[in-house]
Amino acid sequence: MEEIIKTQKAYKKLGFTYLETPEIITTLNQLLSNYIVHYLTLINFKRIK
């Protein structure tokens, strides 16, 4: 049983298909970059006051 789990791809373990994975990665990268921009803008805004 452990050998089967080790040989499976990470996206299969999470329940996604091979074709869904790039779309999910792109969406998460966009979300992360938006969060970083928002956070840095907030920090900069606090320094001005």
For 14-47, the pLDDT digits (tens) are 888 888 999 999 999 999 999 999 999 998 887 7
Task: List the Cα angle 19/24/26 in 5-degree steps.
Answer: 105
Contact assessment for residue 18 and residue 25, using Cβ atoms and an 8 Å cutoff: no
Query: How many other β-carbons are positioned within 10 Å of the β-carbon of residue 12?
Result: 13
pLDDT band at 3 (very low <50, low <70, confident <90, very high): low
Q: Which domain holds residue 25?
A: 2-48
Q: CA-CA distances (angstroms) from residue 45 to 27, 34, 35, 36, 39?
A: 27, 16, 15, 14, 10
> Into how many domains does the chain fold?
1
| 38 or 10, higher pLDDT | 38
Picking from 3, 19, 49, the residue whose alpha carbon sits closest to that of residue 11 is 19
Q: Tokens representing 31?
A: 């979300």
Q: What pLDDT sits at residue 6?
A: 61
- Does the pLDDT value for residue 1 go beyond 70? no
